[in-house]
């Protein structure tokens, strides 16, 4: 049953009077702090004082720490950007390093507990090699039949799983629910317990006792007290406070008044609180009624954000005053009791229940709440987590009688795979809270059917659904998929892009749009404005956020503060972000609910197996000489235009085409993209390619046109492109050490239609110029995929790749040609070496990456110049020298091959 916050407030007000204790909250908080401090203190004493003799002493001594001391290190481990390490192949510097930053010194522990046990020599050896280990858990007691148990648990929350254990399936299901997978190759997997992963576990119905019990049962060693305490602290407090969306207003709700008091002690939360006068409340109620009655209720504009903010500021001042007057007493949103009866009646009427009933809902608790400013939701969530009362978001959609039900189901022919079902069960949960939807993120590799998971979620919630994608092409794909997999009718689907501004018929439906459309703040066309008002005014049962990992946090914030959605489902293939914003996703959307095991999906044929190879292409002396004296922009151009890289690329295309592969060649550098493509007479797509031409070229590729066995793509092709024909990928230039980009690109060939042919493997080639930055970056880029269990073979030389008899047939194999190439590169301006950053259309998220418009414009211009230069060069014209002239040469709108093809038709 949905709780009515208004109703709840009345009751709490009554209770409050009977329980007047100004200092209670502060006292409770202090007591808790003291208890913790005391606990840790006494444990410390034990460590110092106790004679560490015998078996007892060998048991681990865990210091109980306040969780905030523990959390940064733990969370850093999973979300932190550990690319900073010196050694790219030191796969987890930060991760292992985390222990060193933690307050418990393990070497210290070793010294303290080292007195007992063992023979004389054994002891001296243990001390001798103990210094080798940053983390020494050798004193954790091994359980009887440890060999048959599948996991080890470390002090820092890391869990190591034997993937060859007979119990692996059970253990894996359990671990993926309570912990973050860190690395999952073939034999030993590692997971990590974090506050977020534990919140997620609780939100899918796991209890503290179950977590502890199962963990202990699986563990070879006694689960360290420190970990036990961490689990308790994370899980016991979670779920006590909820964030509830009701009629586009946000409420913090709890059946524990003291917790609300603690929360309101925080200035940030207090400032976010909205206190409405009776009149305002009544007006809002009236408004809501009107909305409901009105046929186009959803089109009504809600309170303007700006207006609301002002209002909120005033309220904040007001409540501060109140605070000063009443000390720590929590001022209730309503203090006039005499109106209670009316309000109860009104609330009851709106819910259609008996106004005199004292039983609030099926969870039978007194529930209190206060309203917060929608603009401050993220901040409040963050603060609550810091206060150890993370907010739980759940949507009781079955009992939502305010928002109209959407008639949608999976079409009868649709079947979902077991792991997709697992994802959805995490989102909708069985157990205690079945039938409710939780916000969160589901991580599935490309090709594993993320879209279907989103569609099934929409079919479950059966309320209006908003889907946000990264570009117009994806909007198209989502729209098609909805029609393919569900019973949704055309009139129920609305596309909202730069080119299409439909609305669905009736009161509920599905809107598919792009992040940029929804978050755009500048001036808008009239119909865009209308559409935005519609989206912002509607209360959405479900908001699906596609490719969440590529969306900058500021865009998210804008979207999530203006659009009201009960449930947010983030979908992504790669939850890796170099820009450190990954933590924001937790607050903005919710915890990670599920992350699939890539190797497992590949083994079972759901995604293609991949053979990954990195090829080191040496530079000639002349090229390297130029490289050594160039700046970074030119260096990058030299790397990608390296003749032996070109030859390797040409060779691979020839060889793989002969083997029947369909090939995508990726280049972040537009100059190189066009130069390669034109030299090799292959079609290409980059940012400036118009939408229509893109679709045509891609269709040609899909339809096995003989001249379109290979296509060159700039980074616009990194995500969302659905090309199940592609079986081979060649990277000639990429974005520094981006693990995300590497994984995304790999995703392009995981769908491979041919994946279930016997012995089939998609091919993933990365061409790297030897002795340049590319080698180091490439090693970093691999990290995410290596953690998923992929192996990268390194071919250390051009000669090792290309058979001798093939070499003479390749372009640029003579010193004269190589000199020509070098001359060409030397003639280019340095910016030509930069990656493509063009903003292409109002729908592309890529453009939104640029936070500083002037730079973006400049870089965009540079990319255009590069493209123009390449076009001119390849067409046999002299390369334009002046940037202005270069910019004046318009990039070719249609590829010559494409034109030829059109003529042929």
Partner 1 sequence: MVRAVKGVMVECDPAVKQIIKDLDTQHHFIIEDLDETHLFIDASKIEMVQERLEEILEED
Partner 2 sequence: MQAAIDAGLSISGNVGKYLESLPRATLDQLYTQPATCLAVLRMLPSLAKHTVLRLLYTSSAVRESVIESWAQPEHSGIFLDILGGLSKLHIVSLGSDGGKRTVSINVVFQTNLHNALVGSGAHSSFGLPSESSDKHRPTTAFLDRYATECWESVLHYLVGTPSEKRPKSPAHHFRESTLTLRRRTDGELRITSKGFQFLLQDQLNMQLVEVLNFFFQLGSLELGQDYSIETLTPTQKHMLDDLKHLGLIYQRKKKSTRFYPTRLATSLTSGSSMSVSLTSRDQAAESEGFIIVETNYRVYAYTNSPLQIAVLSLFVSMRVRFANMVIGLITRDSVRDALAKGITSDQIIAYLTTHAHPEMRKSSPVIPSTIVDQIRLWEMERNRLRISRGYLYQMFSREQDYRDILKQATDFGYELWHSDAKRLIVVSNEGHEHIKAFVARQRQQQQQQQQQR
Residues near partner 1 (CB under 8 A) are 618-621, 624-625, 628, 770-773, 775-776
Q: Other CB atoms closer than 10 Å to residue 659's CB: what's the count? A: 10
CB of 806 to partner 2, least distance (A): 23
Rounded Cα gap, residues 427 and 589, in angstroms: 13
By C-beta, is 131 or 579 nearer to partner 2? 131
CB of 866 to partner 2, least distance (A): 33
Please list the residues that pair with 792 across neighbouring strands. Answer: 612
Site for partner 2 in 213-232 (CB under 8 A): 220-221
By C-beta, is 159 or 269 nearer to partner 2? 159
CB of 807 to partner 1, least distance (A): 16
CB of 390 to partner 2, least distance (A): 29
What lies within 8 Å, CB to CB, of 427 at 6+ separation is: 437, 438, 440, 442, 457, 569, 593
By C-beta, is 412 or 621 nearer to partner 1? 621
The answer to whether 746 and 602 have CB atoms below 8 angstroms apart is no
What lies within 8 Å, CB to CB, of 597 at 6+ separation is: 172, 176, 181, 184, 788
By C-beta, is 66 or 116 nearer to partner 2? 116
What binding mask, one character per residue, do residues 731-770 give for partner 2 by CB under 8 A, x or -? ----------------------------------------
Q: Which stretch binds partner 2 (CB under 8 A): 413-421, 629-637, 713-721, 788-796?
A: 788-796
Which residue do the tokens 């002037």 mark? 854
Rounded Cα gap, residues 727 and 763, in angstroms: 6
The answer to whether 812 and 647 have CB atoms below 8 angstroms apart is yes
Q: What separation in angstroms does the CA of 13 have from each of 199, 337, 370?
A: 30, 8, 12
3-state secondary structure of 283: helix
Could you say which of partner 2, partner 1, none residue 894 binds, taking C-beta under 5 to 8 angstroms by partner kind? Answer: none
Q: What are phi and psi of 400, to 5 degrees?
A: -80, 105
Binding partner 2 (rule: CB under 8 A), the pick from 2, 47, 57, 96 is 96
Site for partner 2 in 187-206 (CB under 8 A): 187-188, 190
3-state secondary structure of 797: coil
Angle between helices 208-218 and 195-203 (to 10 degrees): 120
Which residue do the tokens 């700039």 mark? 714
SS3 sequence, 668-734? CCHHHHHHHHHHCCCCEECCCCCHHHHHHHHHHHHCCCHHHCEEEECHHHCCCCCCCCCCEEEEEEC
Could you say which of partner 2, partner 1, none residue 20 binds, taking C-beta under 5 to 8 angstroms by partner kind? Answer: none
Binding partner 2 (rule: CB under 8 A), the pick from 105, 133, 169, 364 is 133
Binding partner 2 (rule: CB under 8 A), the pick from 370, 623, 790, 901 is 790
- Asked if 89 is part of the footprint of partner 2 (rule: CB under 8 A), the reply reads yes
What binding mask, one character per residue, do residues 246-285 give for partner 2 by CB under 8 A, x or -? ----------------------------------------
The answer to whether 542 and 566 have CB atoms below 8 angstroms apart is yes
Could you say which of partner 1, partner 2, none residue 787 binds, taking C-beta under 5 to 8 angstroms by partner kind? Answer: partner 2
Instruction: Label residues 126-154 b or e (16+ Cβ within 10 Å = b).
Output: beeeeeeeebbbebbeeeeeeeebbbbbb
By C-beta, is 170 or 620 nearer to partner 1? 620
Binding partner 2 (rule: CB under 8 A), the pick from 135, 207, 536, 735 is 135
The answer to whether 785 and 746 have CB atoms below 8 angstroms apart is yes
- Asked if 126 is part of the footprint of partner 2 (rule: CB under 8 A), the reply reads yes
By C-beta, is 190 or 831 nearer to partner 2? 190
Q: What six digits make up the tokens of 836?
A: 């493509």
What binding mask, one character per residue, do residues 57-86 give for partner 2 by CB under 8 A, x or -? -----------------------------x
Q: Which stretch binds partner 2 (CB under 8 A): 648-656, 691-699, 723-731, 792-800?
A: 792-800
Q: Which stretch binds partner 2 (CB under 8 A): 146-154, 224-232, 389-397, 523-531?
A: 146-154
**H helix or E strand, kind and range, residue 618:** none
CB of 86 to partner 1, least distance (A): 10
CB of 96 to partner 1, least distance (A): 23
Binding partner 2 (rule: CB under 8 A), the pick from 140, 175, 473, 711 is 140
Tell me the CB-side half-sphere exposure of residue 450, using CA atoms within 13 A: 30
- Asked if 481 is part of the footprint of partner 2 (rule: CB under 8 A), the reply reads no
By C-beta, is 578 or 622 nearer to partner 1? 622
Question: Among residues 145, 225, 230, which one has the least CA distance to residue 192?
Answer: 230
By C-beta, is 122 or 505 nearer to partner 2? 122
Q: Which stretch binds partner 2 (CB under 8 A): 352-360, 537-545, 709-717, 787-795?
A: 787-795
Q: What six digits make up the tokens of 451?
A: 């879209």
What lies within 8 Å, CB to CB, of 825 at 6+ separation is: 626, 634, 637, 638, 641
Q: What six digits make up the tokens of 748?
A: 């392009």
Q: Which stretch binds partner 2 (CB under 8 A): 139-147, 269-277, 487-495, 628-636?
A: 139-147
Rounded Cα gap, residues 362 and 54, in angstroms: 53
Please list the residues that pair with 254 across neighbouring strands. Answer: 241, 368
Q: What separation in angstroms does the CA of 896 have from each of 459, 698, 875, 900?
A: 45, 15, 10, 6
By C-beta, is 600 or 622 nearer to partner 1? 622
Q: What six digits make up the tokens of 447?
A: 């090709």
Q: How many residues bind partner 2 (CB under 8 A)?
A: 49
CB of 134 to partner 2, least distance (A): 6
CB of 151 to partner 2, least distance (A): 11
**H helix or E strand, kind and range, residue 371:** strand 368-372
CB of 805 to partner 1, least distance (A): 22
Q: Which stretch binds partner 2 (CB under 8 A): 44-52, 138-146, 560-568, 702-710?
A: 138-146
Binding partner 2 (rule: CB under 8 A), the pick from 11, 26, 130, 824 is 130
CB of 772 to partner 1, least distance (A): 7
What lies within 8 Å, CB to CB, of 674 at 6+ separation is: 684, 686, 712, 867, 870, 871, 874
CB of 767 to partner 2, least distance (A): 17
Residues in the chain: 905
CB of 611 to partner 2, least distance (A): 11
What binding mask, one character per residue, do residues 151-190 give for partner 2 by CB under 8 A, x or -? -x-x---x-x---x------------------x-xxxx-x
Please list the residues that pair with 252 across neighbouring strands. Answer: 243, 370
CB of 620 to partner 1, least distance (A): 6
Could you say which of partner 2, partner 1, none residue 624 binds, taking C-beta under 5 to 8 angstroms by partner kind? Answer: partner 1
Rounded Cα gap, residues 569 and 143, in angstroms: 41
Binding partner 2 (rule: CB under 8 A), the pick from 124, 148, 699, 814 is 124
Rounded Cα gap, residues 460 and 462, in angstroms: 5
Could you say which of partner 2, partner 1, none residue 620 binds, taking C-beta under 5 to 8 angstroms by partner kind? Answer: partner 1
Residues in touch with partner 2 (CB under 8 A): 86-87, 89-92, 96, 121, 124-126, 128-142, 146, 152, 154, 158, 160, 164, 183, 185-188, 190, 220-221, 786-787, 789-794, 796
């Amino acid at each position: 049953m949905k709780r009515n916050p208004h109703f709840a407030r009345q009751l709490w007000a009554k209770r409050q009077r009977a329980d007047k204790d100004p200092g209670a909250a502060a006292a409770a908080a202090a007591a808790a702090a003291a208890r913790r401090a005391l606990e840790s203190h006494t444990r410390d004493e034990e460590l110092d004082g106790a004679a560490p003799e015998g078996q007892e002493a060998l048991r681990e001594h865990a210091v109980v720490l306040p969780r905030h001391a523990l959390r940064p290190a733990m969370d850093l481990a999973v979300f932190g950007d550990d690319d900073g390490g010196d050694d790219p192949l030191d796969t987890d510097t930060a991760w292992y390093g985390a222990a060193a930053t933690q307050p418990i010194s393990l070497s210290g522990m070793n010294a303290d507990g080292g007195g007992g046990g063992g023979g004389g020599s054994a002891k001296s050896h243990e001390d001798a090699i103990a210094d080798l280990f940053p983390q020494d858990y050798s004193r954790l007691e091994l359980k009887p039949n440890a060999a048959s148990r599948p996991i080890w648990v470390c002090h820092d929350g890391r869990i190591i799983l034997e993937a060859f254990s007979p119990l692996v399936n059970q253990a894996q299901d359990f671990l993926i629910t309570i912990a973050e997978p860190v690395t999952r190759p073939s034999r030993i997997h590692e997971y990590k317990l974090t506050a977020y992963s534990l919140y997620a576990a609780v939100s899918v119905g796991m209890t503290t006792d179950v977590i502890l019990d199962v963990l202990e049962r699986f563990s070879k060693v006694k689960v360290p007290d420190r970990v036990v305490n961490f689990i308790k602290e994370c899980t016991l407090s979670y779920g006590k406070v909820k964030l509830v969306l009701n009629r586009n207003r946000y409420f913090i709700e709890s059946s524990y008044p003291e917790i609300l008091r603690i929360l309101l002690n925080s200035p940030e939360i207090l400032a976010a609180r909205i206190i409405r006068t009776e009149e305002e409340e009544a007006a809002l109620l009236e408004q809501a009624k009107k909305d409901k009655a009105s046929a186009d209720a959803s089109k009504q504009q809600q309170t303007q954000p700006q207006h609301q903010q002002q209002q909120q500021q005033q309220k904040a001042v007001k409540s501060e005053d109140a605070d000063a007057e009443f000390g720590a007493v929590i001022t209730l949103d309503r203090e006039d009791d005499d109106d209670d009866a009316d309000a109860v009646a009104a609330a009851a009427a709106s819910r259609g229940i008996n106004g005199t009933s004292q039983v609030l809902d099926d969870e039978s608790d007194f529930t209190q709440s206060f309203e917060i400013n929608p603009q401050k939701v993220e901040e409040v969530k963050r603060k609550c987590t810091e206060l150890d009362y993370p907010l739980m978001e759940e949507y009781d959609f079955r009992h939502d009688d305010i928002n109209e039900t959407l008639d949608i189901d999976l079409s009868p022919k649709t079947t979902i795979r077991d792991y997709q079902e697992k994802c959805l069960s995490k989102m909708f949960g069985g157990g205690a809270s079945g039938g409710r939807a939780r916000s969160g993120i589901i991580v599935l590799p490309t090709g594993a059917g993320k879209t279907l998971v989103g569609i099934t979620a929409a079919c479950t919630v059966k309320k209006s659904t908003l889907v946000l994608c990264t570009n117009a092409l994806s909007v198209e794909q989502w729209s098609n998929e909805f029609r393919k997999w569900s019973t949704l009718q055309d009139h129920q689907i609305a596309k909202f892009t730069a080119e299409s501004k439909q609305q669905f018929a009736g009161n509920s439906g599905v809107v598919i749009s792009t992040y940029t459309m929804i978050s755009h703040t500048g001036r808008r066309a009239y119909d865009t404005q209308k559409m935005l008002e519609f989206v912002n005014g509607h209360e959405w049962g479900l908001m699906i956020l596609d490719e969440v990992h590529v969306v900058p946090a500021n865009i998210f914030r804008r979207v999530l503060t203006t659009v009201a959605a009960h449930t947010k489902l983030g979908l992504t293939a790669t939850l890796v972000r170099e820009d450190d914003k990954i933590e924001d996703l937790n607050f903005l959307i919710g915890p990670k609910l599920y992350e699939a095991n890539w190797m497992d999906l590949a083994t079972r044929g759901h995604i293609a197996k991949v053979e990954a190879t990195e090829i080191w292409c040496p530079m000639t002396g002349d090229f390297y000489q130029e490289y050594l004296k160039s700046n970074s922009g030119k260096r990058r151009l030299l790397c990608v235009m390296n003749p032996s890289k070109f030859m390797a690329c040409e060779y691979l295309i020839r060889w793989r085409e002969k083997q029947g592969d369909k090939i995508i060649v990726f280049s972040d550098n537009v100059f190189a993209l066009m130069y390669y493509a034109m030299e090799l007479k292959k079609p290409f797509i980059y940012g400036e390619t118009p939408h229509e031409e893109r679709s045509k070229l891609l269709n040609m590729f899909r339809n096995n046109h003989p001249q379109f066995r290979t296509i060159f793509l700039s980074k616009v092709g990194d995500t969302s492109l659905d090309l199940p024909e592609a079986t081979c990928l060649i990277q000639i230039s990429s974005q520094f050490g981006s693990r995300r980009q590497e994984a995304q690109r790999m995703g392009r060939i995981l769908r491979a239609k041919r994946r279930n042919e016997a012995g089939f493997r998609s091919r993933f080639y990365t061409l790297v110029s030897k002795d340049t930055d590319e080698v180091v970056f490439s090693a970093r880029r691999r990290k995410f995929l290596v953690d998923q269990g992929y192996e990268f073979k390194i071919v250390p030389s051009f000669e090792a790749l290309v058979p001798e008899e093939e070499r003479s047939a390749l372009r640029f194999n003579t010193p004269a040609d190589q000199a020509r190439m070098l001359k060409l590169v030397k003639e280019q301006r340095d910016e030509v070496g930069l990656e493509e950053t063009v903003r292409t259309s109002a729908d592309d998220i890529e453009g939104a990456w640029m936070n500083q418009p002037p730079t973006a414009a400049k870089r965009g211009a540079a990319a255009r110049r590069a493209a123009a230069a390449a076009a001119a060069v390849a067409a046999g014209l002299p390369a334009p020298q002046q940037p202005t002239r270069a910019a004046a040469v318009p990039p070719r709108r249609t590829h010559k091959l494409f034109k030829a093809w059109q003529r042929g038709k």
